[in-house]
Amino acid sequence: MLLMDIFESIYRFFGWWIIEIDIFFLALLLMGGTFLILNKKKWGRKFTLAACLGFVFFGIVPIGLWSIVALENRFPKVEQFPTEAKGMILLGGSFDEMTSKARNEPAYNLTVGKLIRFVELAKANPDLVLAYAGSPFEAKMGQIEFKALGLDPSRVVFEQNSKNTKENALQSALLLHPKPDEKWVLMTSAYHLPRSVGLFRKAGFNVIPFPVDYHTTGKYEPWFFLGLRLNLEAWAAGSREWLGMLMNYLMGRSDELYPSP
């Protein structure tokens, strides 16, 4: 157990630098400047050049966008809702917590599309068992928004003791007691679905992956000069999913390295 904790700590440290690669490049730039000030020009030039090349590469090549495309295309779009499903689970993450608390009202982020789609399908399928997995804050905001959108919050089982997707899966299993012959629609943003499917399958759910809330066209567009900021944001979102899947597989939290349909 101690060895696994150490391994996870190492992953979190190095994984953070990979995900937040813009900060990594800034750190290189700072180190380069420091070496130049200390008159260590050889090392100063090397670190400064590495940082500049990194920023130029991410400013030109849309590698961040491509990492999202691969994730979003992993599971096919569901054209017709599966009537054999016992229930539908929506993963949280549609609200901006800091802004919501500051303004004392729900504030959305870029993934709110999945919440709207969940409400639409829940209203169209009144016999479904519904679940919303997230934090206490997410549960509070979800109740407000479900009611505002015409969905009775009493229909929804709120899993509100989780801090991440791994805990979402485990806590949802404790609440819903899934059986092998029961099918559960798992709904979240398409790029987040592969990692989520692996965790929920391991937790005992026979899931029907339901991708929604797309953020790309689904094509590997050669959009060079997409923009440094947008590409770095896409890289952060995509690399978090790819590294998460690798970590879940190595830690035994998922039986598949890259969960498939």
Task: Look at residue 136 and tell me if it is in a domain.
Answer: yes
What does the pLDDT read at residue 11?
81
Task: Look at residue 95 and tell me if it is in a domain.
Answer: yes
Residue 209 and residue 108 share a domain: yes
**pTM, full prediction:** 0.90
| CB-based contacts of 52, cutoff 8 Å, min separation 6 | 29
Q: End-to-end alpha-carbon separation of the chain, Å?
A: 32
Whether 114 and 213 have beta carbons less than 8 Å apart is answered as: yes
Number of domains in the chain: 2
Residue 87 and residue 139 share a domain: yes
Q: What is the CATH number of the domain that holds 114?
A: 3.40.50.620
Task: Look at residue 259 and tell me if it is in a domain.
Answer: no
Per-residue pLDDT of the chain (261 residues; tens, 9 = 90+): 667 678 778 888 888 999 999 999 999 999 999 999 998 999 999 999 999 999 888 878 888 889 999 999 999 999 999 999 999 999 999 999 999 999 988 999 999 999 999 999 999 999 999 999 999 999 999 999 999 999 999 999 999 989 999 999 999 999 999 999 999 999 999 999 999 999 999 999 999 999 999 999 898 877 665 677 888 899 999 999 999 999 999 999 999 999 999
Task: Look at residue 133 and tell me if it is in a domain.
Answer: yes
CA 27/CA 4 separation, integer angstroms: 29
What does the pLDDT read at residue 224?
61
Residue type, 232: L
* Domain boundaries, position 139: 78-214
Residue 101 and residue 34 share a domain: no
Residue 187's nearest CA partner among 261, 89, 112, 116 is 89
The SS3 call for residue 32 is helix
Residue 119 and residue 41 share a domain: no
CA distances in angstroms from 111 to 60, 135, 162, 238, listed in the order given? 26, 16, 18, 14
Residue 148 and residue 30 share a domain: no
pLDDT in tens, 38-90: 989 999 999 999 999 998 888 788 888 899 999 999 999 999 999 999 999 99
Two tokens, residue 219: 């094509």
Task: Look at residue 234 and tell me if it is in a domain.
Answer: yes
Task: Look at residue 257 and tell me if it is in a domain.
Answer: no
Summary count for the chain: helices (H), strands (E): 10, 5
Two tokens, residue 122: 């829940």
The SS3 call for residue 119 is helix
In 141-254, beta strands by DSSP E = 156-159, 183-189, 206-212
pLDDT in tens, 57-69: 887 888 888 999 9
Task: Look at residue 102 and tell me if it is in a domain.
Answer: yes
CA 45/CA 109 separation, integer angstroms: 40
The angle formed by the CA atoms of residues 204, 206 and 209, to the nearest 5 degrees, is 120
Task: Look at residue 204 and tell me if it is in a domain.
Answer: yes
| CB-based contacts of 202, cutoff 8 Å, min separation 6 | 169, 253, 254, 255
